[in-house]
Amino acid sequence: NAGVMQNPRHLVRRRGQEARLRCSPMKGHSHVYWYRQLPEEGLKFMVYLQKENIIDESGMPKERFSAEFPKEGPSILRIQQVVRGDSAAYFCASSPLPGGPSDTQYFGPGTRLTVL
């Protein structure tokens, strides 16, 4: 997973605050996916973005969560008014091209969000 950068690695927020998680994809990758992993669970898809476009947000909670991937800069996953249930590891993955054998997604190290 070298190459996909996520920051911060650890983030502590109090209930009601905002959390911003950043992801820079691997060089040459223009497709970004966000996943969430709760304790003792597998990763759950949240949202898929290309530059300036949200392609699939079917896994994203309808309220408080948003994501963007601007033309310049990293992809941002934003959680407003965090609650304790948002505590999880959030992983970003990137791929060069979806929908084909080269669709392998490469993951970053994750951001561990703790809501107090």
* Cβ distance to another protein smaller for residue 66 or 106: 106
CB of 16 vs another protein, minimal distance in Å: 27
CB of 53 vs another protein, minimal distance in Å: 11
Cα torsion angle, 28, 32, 33, 34, sign: positive
Cα torsion angle, 68, 21, 56, 73, sign: positive
Q: Segment 43-102, which members bind another protein (CB under 8 A)?
A: 43-45, 48, 55-56, 59, 91, 93, 95, 98-101
CB of 17 vs another protein, minimal distance in Å: 23
SS3 44: strand
